[in-house]
Amino acid sequence: MPDRTPYIAANWKMNKTVAEAAEFVDALLPRIAATQCDVVLCPSFIALNEVVERRRGTAVRVAAQNMHEAESGAFTGEISAAMLVELDVEAVVLGHSERRQYFGETDEALARKVPAALAAGLEPILCVGESAEARAGGETETVLERQLQADLAGVEPADLAGVVIAYEPIWAIGTGATATPEQAQDACAFIRDVVGMRGAAADRIRILYGGSVKAANAAELLSKPDVDGALVGGAALDPEEFAGIVEAAG
């Protein structure tokens, strides 16, 4: 892997109270103190400040699970990039399949959110992935290219290296099914090619795999040359299990 530091992110989704988030961080930090990976925790909005404060003095970073593209305005229930930056949040997950499926997140909205995040100094973790039906129909690459071209349309080629891309096949999220290491590699390599065709320094962009990643399968998945890390869901709720994934990444 050409100078790409492994990137392991824990997406807690709608889990963990503030107290539970604090307990997790306190349990995790000693377990990963020696890691050379980039470790990112993605708690709910209410736990962001607690996690930010508890990780201070460590290399662990914090990401929000979503944000609005506008700087401010009449958008009830939304959070702006400036609000996240004020909390010392460093990154933000955008376009997760659950946001797309359940909350109507569109590629058009993401085309505005990704540049807004970059402009605010936040690292976007852009999620893309195909459904079971698309994979069965041989449309995986068509779906991935469509999402990438649309979602990154407002990002200049020189800025693309500031985006982390997470390949999350919808059929493997929360189902217990996991893409084979070969499937993950093929998709991540294709994503790198698509981004490279936009003029980006594709060998600098980190591409993650997400979908039922756990300590038992992480090493094999992360051994593939174009899989630079993992966006972890269910297994990220247990500090020992998540630490095992970090350890597998090197």
* Catalytic (active-site) positions: 96, 168
Distance CA 3, CA 161 (A): 13
- Torsional sign, CA 24, 44, 119, 173: positive
3-class SS of residue 57: coil
Distance CA 97, CA 173 (A): 9
Distance of CA 217 to the CA centre of its chain: 18
Distance CA 132, CA 153 (A): 26
Q: Which residues of 231-244 are buried (b: 16+ CB within 10 A; e: fewer)?
A: bbbbbbbbbebbbb
For the chain, how big is the Rg over CA atoms in Å? 17
Residue 44, both tokens: 């709910």
∠ CA 62-147-105, rounded to 5°: 60
For residues 238 and 217, the answer to whether their CB atoms sit within 8 Å is: no
Distance CA 54, CA 68 (A): 26
Give the relative orientation of helices 140-151 and 181-197 as an angle to the nearest 10 degrees: 40
3-class SS of residue 177: coil
